[in-house]
């Protein structure tokens, strides 16, 4: 029996674009995720400068693998069931210039799991998303149909069966016997504490 996980090879395009608005006052440009595309033989295996001008710059980072894991089927479902299923890309800036004269962003991981994106964000990583193409979404849905089982929702206990308690938190029951004499609530249905229950006690 094969243990090979379903996977797809992709390439990530990162771009530098001019900043606009107030952000441009202290930083004239910014890096952002431009696209995730299928890996092609001509891409090679390493980062490649695609285009550069005074205001824009594009890099292709090829040969990244996206695997599907059975235990993350719900994470894929949460992504695929949205109006626009997405690729999630975790990327980091180089600490020191390595690919160019200045540091450039390097994609570290690509996923189709909503939970992966959440974990990365919780770890204070930079995560961006772009829409996934229809063939990839179809491939993802086929995996979900095979491995994701929707857990049945627990039936909510009817309100009429919820236990009542007095102001001390002790369980009480409703009596329809008329109260005789001048006691509180005389002639009306009243609440009485269960026998043996003390104020502040717990229900056994």
Domain contains 170: yes
Q: Is the pLDDT of residue 51 over 80?
A: yes
Is residue 190 within 8 Å of 175, Cβ to Cβ? yes
Establish if 128 belongs to a structural domain.
yes
Report the distance separating Cα 202 and Cα 19, nearest Å: 62
> How high is the pLDDT of residue 2?
58
Per the CB < 8 A criterion, the answer to whether 60 and 47 are in contact is: yes
| β partners of residue 172 | 164, 193
* 28 and 95 inside one domain: yes
- 116-135 pLDDT, tens digit per residue, is 999 999 999 999 999 999 99
Residue 152 phi/psi, 5° resolution? -65, 140
Taking the whole predicted model, whether its pTM rises above 0.75 is answered as no
- What pLDDT, in 10s, does the model give residues 80-90? 999 999 999 99
Q: Is residue 52 part of a domain?
A: yes
Q: What value does the mean pLDDT of the chain take? A: 82
Domain count, the chain: 2
pLDDT confidence of 55, banded at 50, 70, 90?
A: confident
Q: How many CA atoms lie within 13 A of 61 on its CB side?
A: 22
Residue 57 has pLDDT above 90, yes or no: yes
Residues 19 and 90 placed together within one structural domain of the fold: yes
Give residue 170's pLDDT: 59
> Is the predicted pLDDT of residue 16 greater than 90, yes or no?
yes
Which of 114, 147, 180 is the last residue in one of the domains? 147
Instruction: Quote the pLDDT of residue 182.
Output: 43
Which of 134, 151, 152, 145 is closest to 68 using CA atoms? 145
Structural domain contains residue 201: no
Cβ partners under 8 Å of residue 41, min gap 6: none
Q: Which two tokens stand for residue 171?
A: 């369980």
pLDDT tens for 155-176 read 554 454 344 455 555 554 444 4
pLDDT of the residue at 25 = 82
């Amino acid at each position: 029996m094969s243990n090979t996980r379903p996977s797809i090879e992709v390439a990530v395009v990162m771009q530098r674009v001019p900043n606009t608005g107030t952000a441009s006052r202290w930083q004239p440009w910014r890096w952002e995720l431009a696209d995730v595309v299928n890996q092609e033989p001509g891409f090679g295996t390493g980062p490649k400068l695609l285009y550069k001008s005074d205001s824009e710059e594009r890099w292709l980072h090829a040969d990244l693998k996206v695997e599907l894991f059975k235990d993350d089927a719900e994470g894929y479902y949460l992504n695929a069931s949205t109006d626009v299923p997405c690729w999630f890309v975790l990327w980091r800036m180089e600490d020191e210039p390595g690919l160019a004269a200045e540091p450039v962003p390097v994609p570290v991981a690509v996923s189709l799991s909503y939970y992966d994106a959440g974990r990365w964000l919780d770890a204070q990583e930079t995560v961006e998303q772009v829409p996934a193409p229809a063939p990839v979404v179809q491939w993802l849905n086929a995996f979900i149909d095979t491995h994701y089982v929707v857990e049945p929702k627990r039936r909510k206990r009817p309100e009429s069966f919820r236990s009542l308690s007095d102001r001390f938190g002790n369980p009480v029951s409703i009596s329809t016997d008329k109260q005789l004499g001048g006691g509180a609530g005389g002639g009306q249905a009243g609440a009485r504490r269960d026998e043996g229950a003390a104020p502040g006690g717990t229900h056994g």
